[in-house]
Amino acid sequence: AWQRLACLALVLAAEALPRGGTVALRPGGGGPAIEADGETVRLAPEAQAALQSGTTIENLTVRGLHAYLCARFATELKLKLAPPRAEPRRLRIEFVAI
């Protein structure tokens, strides 16, 4: 499940880089941390809602799929998502122990 969470989070971070950039997997507070750096960095609103467990499976869209699965795997691993930190050219998604 750790590997699945890391892979899904990497894909989610790559989706936040519409003009390209770099994605890195880093150690975090009890779980993986993903950093996306690029000219334009933004998560789709559907992805933001899914990361914060604000989406049900019935309301899931393609733009929220990877975020929804990240949230589900994190819960399975007894992790929660720290609020995503967005800076002008960087996004950090970190999972921490509950």
Quick one: pLDDT at residue 11? 93
Give CA torsion, residues 78, 5, 60, 97, to 10 deg: 20
State the pLDDT confidence band at 82, using cuts at 50, 70 and 90: confident
pLDDT averaged over the chain? 87
Residue type at 78 in one-letter notation: K
Quick one: pLDDT at residue 54? 67
For strands 90-97 and 79-81, give the pairing: antiparallel
Quick one: pLDDT at residue 38? 94
91 forms beta bridges with 36, 86
- Structure confidence by residue, pLDDT tens digits, 8-37: 999 999 999 999 999 999 887 777 889 999
C-alpha dist (Å) from residue 30 to 8, 16, 33, 43, 74: 17, 23, 9, 23, 11
pLDDT: is 38 or 53 the higher one? 38
